[in-house]
Amino acid sequence: MLELRGARLASDAAAPVWRSALGEEKRWAKQVPPGTGDESWAEQFREYKAQRLQLRYDLKDAIEQHDFAKLSAVKAAWEGAFGFPFVAADDVRERLAMGHQLVPGVCIKHRRFGYRGVVVACEPWCNAPAAWRAQMGTPSL
């Protein structure tokens, strides 16, 4: 067990939580999350999100025009995570697929806190301060 200034490490090193003798918990996050500043990733992310957003526009157009054949094809592409950059590696495809439904205009309900919202923008990495990421328990965002 690791102890520092009277607090014990109460979790793993990936998302450290320090617990004091009084039970108070402090979370910690790296100042810069992994992957921040990787322009190759950012370019692939933006390309993927642009293609996914175009699919949303195509869905809207098919609905407005009552073109059910097109609607069926576009819906299948949307649900199948279509839009990967042609030369993306498998690990990049996996990372992109995790947020394949999150494009501007999509309504969401937060899993953990239950609030509702609308996606207004997408960024290739989390720009939130380290203190916020630590408090939310997501130090690797």
Output the pLDDT for position 26.
Answer: 78
Percent of the chain with pLDDT over 90: 21
Verdict on whether the full-model pTM lies above 0.85: no
Residue range 9-38: mean pLDDT, rounded: 73
pLDDT tens by residue, 89-133: 888 888 888 888 889 999 999 888 899 999 998 888 887 777 787
Output the pLDDT for position 118.
Answer: 94
Would you list the DSSP string of 17-63?
EEE-TTS-EEE---SS-TTTT-HHHHHHHHHHHHHHHHHHHHHHHHH
